[in-house]
Amino acid sequence: MTGSGTKYAQIADYYRLLIDSKKLREGDRLPSEAEISALFKASRITVRRAMEEIVQAGYIERIQGKGSFVRTLKRDMQLNHLKGFTEEMRAKGLDATSRVIDVNMIACEAKAAEH
């Protein structure tokens, strides 16, 4: 694989792209570090760093003795910047919609009615 950036970033980007494009799906097992190392002609330390980066980003989870697996991507809203819910979901490729389920008029106390 060619491209700009460090080798570990290229590896991490490659697996993020596979997951984002659904070529690797939730629960799929990733190749071992040794297999990835051979594929990218990179050291195990470089591969380990790339895998740690995508673990931290929430793309995969590691299970000791079993390997690395694609996990369900979090659809959390980012609270460190101001975006509306609709804008946040649109940025994640989702559609935000609403619909009225029920409308009723009910009586309330006079104090509540004033407000």
Q: CATH number for the domain including 13? A: 1.10.10.10
Kindly write down the DSSP assignment for every residue of 8-77, as one continuous string: HHHHHHHHHHHHHTTSS-TTPBPPPHHHHHHHHT--HHHHHHHHHHHHHTTSEEEETTTEEEE-PPP-PP
Q: How many domains does the chain have?
A: 1
pLDDT category of residue 73 using cuts at 50, 70 and 90: low
pLDDT category of residue 107 using cuts at 50, 70 and 90: confident
Q: Taking the complete model, does pTM exceed 0.85, yes or no?
A: no
Domain extent, residue 58, equals 1-115
